[in-house]
Amino acid sequence: APTGRNTALTDVIALDCEMVGVGEDGRRSILARVSVVNEDGNVVLDTFVAPTEHVTDYRTAVSGVRAQDLRGAPPFKEIQRKMADILRGRILVGHALKNDLRALLLDHPRRATRDTATYRPLTRPLRSRERAQADGIARGRGSRSLKELCARELGLEIQAGEHSSVDDARAALLLYQKCAKAWERS
């Protein structure tokens, strides 16, 4: 949950994007929503993005995005420019960030990226069968989904229904903050 009303950009920000499907089978993804929260969990940017191609699958059950959300949304280039400015010189936190950065057609320096999907202490396989069963996770493989990591590491249930990119950005931020001291030393 957010803390206070401070919506200023901070040195650490968290990003999550929602995608919609394009192409004949709707399998190719394009950007539909971008959410950024600051280190207090407060929203710095949350916007839908006008699709750059004809949408064939809104993936509403997962993305939470509907056709009416994208009507009148700002153009991709405008949001891409805004995001490039926001990212500059900041530590970027998120889950599976390469997907979000790819959708934004942006890069971010690896040394300034904190990806909860690839940080070993978070994604390590569970050793004990009991622990794995208790968490409902297959033993011997790393827990990689944001939903699984939040349940295991924070005791937090997310993504019970449609995803919210704001909630997912906050969840990744909480995971990072839990590990920040060790993460920044590594």
- pLDDT of 62 reads 87
Whether 76 and 52 have beta carbons less than 8 Å apart is answered as yes
Residue 172 makes CB contacts below 8 A (sequence gap 6+) with 14, 16, 93, 94, 95, 116, 146
Query: For the segment 28-87, what is each residue's pLDDT rounded down to a tens digit?
Result: 999 999 999 999 999 999 999 999 999 999 999 889 999 999 999 999 999 999 999 999
Is 25's pLDDT higher than 70? yes
As a whole number of angstroms, the distance between CA 34 and CA 22 comes to 18
pLDDT of residue 5: 76
**Predicted local confidence at residue 134, as pLDDT:** 54
Quote the percentage of the chain above a pLDDT of 90. Answer: 66
Beta bridge partners of 92: 13, 113
CATH superfamily of 12-180: Ribonuclease H-like superfamily/Ribonuclease H (3.30.420.10)
C-alpha 39/C-alpha 177 separation (Å) is 9
Q: Is the dihedral of CA 134, 138, 140, 142 positive or negative?
A: negative
- φ and ψ of 34, to 5 deg: -125, 130
Please determine, for residue 95, whether its predicted confidence score (pLDDT) is greater than 50: yes
List, for residues 128-175, the tens digit of each pLDDT value.
555 555 555 444 445 578 888 888 888 777 877 777 899 999 999 999
Give the pLDDT mean for 88-109.
96
